Amino acid sequence: MAKRAGVSIATVSYVLNGSRKVSPELREAVLRAVEEMGYIPNAVAKSLREQRTRTLGIVVPDIGNPFFSALIQAFEACAREQGYRVIVASSEEDGSLEEDALLNLTGRQVEGIALVPTQDLHNPPSKQVPLVVLDRLSRSLDVDAVGVENEASAYLATRFLLEQGHRRILVPASDLRLTNIQERIQGYLRALEERGLKADPSLLVECGRGPLEGVRRRIAEAIQRLQPTAVFPITNRLTLATLRAIRELGLRVPQDLSVIGFDDFEWSHLLDPPLTVVAQPVEALGREACRILLQRVLGLSGQGVYQVRLPCTLEVRGSVGPPRRGA
């Protein structure tokens, strides 16, 4: 390469990295040559040599979901600030695509991976690369993890509905095998219990993670059959499906039915009506995951695992009111 500068290949490295004192003349020559030929150092070679790629990976189930894209945004921002780039992979809620992604990222020598798993992780998928589990935590996996206080926040939301007088609260859930979903349900149940109410199991409807249309139909059917006075869908997709179902059924919110959604986003208060939601601190989640990973990279985290649980907030807007008379 830039022997154009009439110097050794090593010298180029030295001036470009400032890793050694170089005389002004050579320095100049190198810089000029670099400029002239638009030389850009090959980061692949550099990575191979240094055994550092300055790359992180993040694997989410669905890039298009605003919650996950917000997670990616925060993760990327944090990484960039520390001089890292991030490879984004989607598992499409498919375990084998997830496995592929994990293997592929590991092979690419990313220095850390943030994973929102498609299923609860029971054993870490190889200890080759630092991993942080995001959002969908397992009950007791000994690995770094960042999630929210699912139980507490669902409890809070449910209590709010109970305080408004609701007794029949429909809870659309996605996949009961996921611990975070279970936790949210626990919170819901605890709020009921606390009031001495018995939970009607049929009010808990598992909708799966399939196409929105099917989810919507299932929820619509449940609303009609069970006549709840409130609905508390516990993911943002379920919230979307719920609102569609309600719209389709011609019900008014909150007069006919109150709704508390899950996850906040910029458009929530522009919905009809402004949606009361459990807001996850998504920015903090993404950044925290990144920080934990970089911490591991630098080796300045001990043996113990980080198990961060961030609180959610209840954003009260217009979609909750007292239950309909005679319900």
Partner DNA sequence: TTGAAAGCGCTAACAG
Partner DNA sequence: CTGTTAGCGCTTTCAA
CA–CA separation, 158 and 103 (whole Å): 40
Regarding 77 and contact with a second copy (CB under 8 A), the answer is: yes
Q: Is 3 exposed, middle or buried (0-12, 13-18, 19+ CB in 10 A)?
A: exposed
x/- binding map, residues 214-253, to a second copy, per CB under 8 A? --------------------------x--xx--x------
Site residues (CB under 7 A) for DNA, limited to 46-65: 46, 48-51
Measuring CA to CA, how many Å separate 174 from each of 84, 156, 187, 215?
34, 20, 16, 9
Measuring CA to CA, how many Å separate 232 from each of 60, 147, 160, 161?
24, 20, 11, 9
Taking the complex as a whole, how short is the minimal distance between the CB of residue 30 and DNA, in angstroms?
9
- Chosen residue from 32, 85, 177, 252 binding a second copy by CB under 8 A: 85
Considering CB distances under 5 to 8 angstroms, the limit depending on partner class, which of DNA, a second copy, none binds residue 21? DNA
User: 150 is written with which tokens?
Assistant: 């699912």
Q: Is there a contact between 301 and 278 (Cβ–Cβ < 8 Å)?
A: no
Regarding 4 and contact with a second copy (CB under 8 A), the answer is: no
Q: Is the dihedral of CA 296, 300, 302, 307 positive or negative?
A: negative
- Chosen residue from 4, 26, 217, 308 binding DNA by CB under 7 A: 26
Taking the complex as a whole, how short is the minimal distance between the CB of residue 294 and a second copy, in angstroms?
17
Taking the complex as a whole, how short is the minimal distance between the CB of residue 217 and a second copy, in angstroms?
16
Q: Is there a contact between 259 and 253 (Cβ–Cβ < 8 Å)?
A: yes
H helix intervals, 82-211:
95-107, 150-163, 179-194
CA gyration radius, the chain: 25
Place of tokens 């990575």: 47
- Chosen residue from 4, 16, 265, 283 binding DNA by CB under 7 A: 16
CA–CA separation, 163 and 153 (whole Å): 15
Stretch that binds a second copy, among 97-105, 132-140, 148-156, 168-176 (CB under 8 A): 97-105
Regarding 9 and contact with DNA (CB under 7 A), the answer is: yes
Closer to a second copy by Cβ: residue 55 or 235: 55
- Chosen residue from 11, 118, 242, 268 binding DNA by CB under 7 A: 11
Residues contributing to the site for DNA (CB under 7 A): 1, 6-14, 16-17, 19-23, 25-26, 41-42, 45-46, 48-51
Residues contributing to the site for a second copy (CB under 8 A): 38, 40-45, 47-48, 53, 55, 62-64, 66, 69-70, 72-73, 76-77, 80, 85-90, 92, 97, 103-109, 126, 128, 212, 240, 243-244, 247, 266-267, 269-273
